[in-house]
Structure 1
Amino acid sequence: MSFNISVPGKHVTFATWSDWDLQICLHRECLRKQLKKPEFFNYWIDIRYMYKKFYHRSPKGLAGALQDLGISFVGQEHSGICDTRNTAVLISRMISDGCVMTITKSLAVNTNKVHAH
């Protein structure tokens, strides 16, 4: 499942390491700033969940997941830009290993995880 976000022919889905960023943090921030959260933020791929299902192991954080695959974390952990770049590296590796990325969370439909392949 992917969603068209204002660009004809282009489909994007957000990916995060855990549900916290889009399920809790963004929700609270929008409430605090009295902003309406765009609908497309209600769907995402939890890379931590996909990692556990695909590799059948539970890493100790993003850096641990990379380390399990022989990849070094580059930059400072918990820096937004560094975490984003390292998550992209992890996603790329997972896809090259055969993982099919699917939406794992949909706040618009329900709060249960969608079955990952």
Structure 2
Amino acid sequence: MMSSKALRYTIKTTLRPSPQIYENLFVLDFEATCDYPEQISPQEIIEFPCLKVSGKTFEVLSQFHHYIRPICNPLLSDFCVARTGIIQEIIDNSETFESIFQQFRIWLHNNDFNNRCVFVTYGNQDFERLLPTQCQISNIAVPSCMRKWLDLKKCIARATGHYPSSLKSAVERFGIKFSGRQHSGIDDCYNMVSIMKLLAEKGYVFN
């Protein structure tokens, strides 16, 4: 299911990516409720973006993107709004996680997610902490396909010898201009794809 934000491609080059193990890579980056200096507990997912990326060309083939209405802490903090750019009105008019997750499962099925596909995140917190917490809140089992993933930070470290910090700094280290807004989940996903394509063109195999 497409959002109002159209598919876009951040890297265009004549170089051919090296052959990959995975047929498709599903790039995901949650945004969640948050506050500062004291963190909200529990944190709930409020933006759910995922891009299906070809393991041959590293072009984006399909996009899933929805905002989610939290139930434990329904009012966003000023810090969260400033950080993510997600305003209260968007959240108030969104569906809960249970509904969006069901739509996501259908999207995965329609996009042929199989054992030759893998999820890619930037760091481990999306699948190690945020998703299990959210599924516990929503009384949903974490699907087996979402219990393993590739951490793009570690991929970058293996390929370059440098372990990155923020996604923005990682993008700029590769000589790419960061596209969109930092901590917008969908923008972060597209910037991750830009890095992945460059790594593949330099011979890196995602595994």
CA RMSD, aligned part only? Answer: 2.4
1:35-62, Cα deviation, whole Å (9 max, x unpaired): 0111000111000011012100122311
Tell me which of 12, 20, 25 is aligned to 2:130: 25
Which residue identity lines up with residue 81 of structure 1 in the other structure? I
What's the CA shift for 1:66? 1.1
> Matched residues in 2 for 1:52 and 1:86: separation?
17
- Equivalent residue number for residue 178 of structure 2: 73
Q: TM-score, normalised by structure 2?
A: 0.45
Fraction of identical pairs, as percent:
23
Task: Name the CA shift for 1:81/1:35 in 2 (closer, same or farther; >3 Å).
Answer: same
Q: Is the strand fraction higher in 1 or 2?
A: 2
Which residue identity lines up with residue 50 of structure 1 in the other structure? C
Which residue identity lines up with residue 157 of structure 2 in the other structure? K
What's the CA shift for 1:10? 7.6
> Matched residues in 2 for 1:9 and 1:32: separation?
27
- Equivalent residue number for residue 98 of structure 1: 203
Q: Does residue 151 of structure 2 align to residue 46 of structure 1?
A: yes
> Matched residues in 2 for 1:8 and 1:18: separation?
22
Tell me which of 37, 51, 56 is aligned to 2:142: 37
> Matched residues in 1 for 2:122 and 2:205: separation?
16
Tell me which of 4, 9, 15 is aligned to 2:120: 15
Unaligned runs of 5+ in 2: 1-20, 24-107
Q: How many residues align?
A: 102
Q: Does residue 204 of structure 2 align to residue 89 of structure 1?
A: no
What's the CA shift for 1:11? 2.7
> Matched residues in 2 for 1:40 and 1:88: separation?
20
Deviates more, 1:8-17 or 1:35-44: 8-17
* Structure 1 stretches of 4+ moved >6 Å: none
Q: Is the helix fraction higher in 1 or 2?
A: 1
What's the CA shift for 1:75? 0.5
Which structure would you say has the larger Rg? 2
What's the CA shift for 1:33? 0.5
Unaligned runs of 5+ in 1: 103-117
Which residue identity lines up with residue 14 of structure 1 in the other structure? F
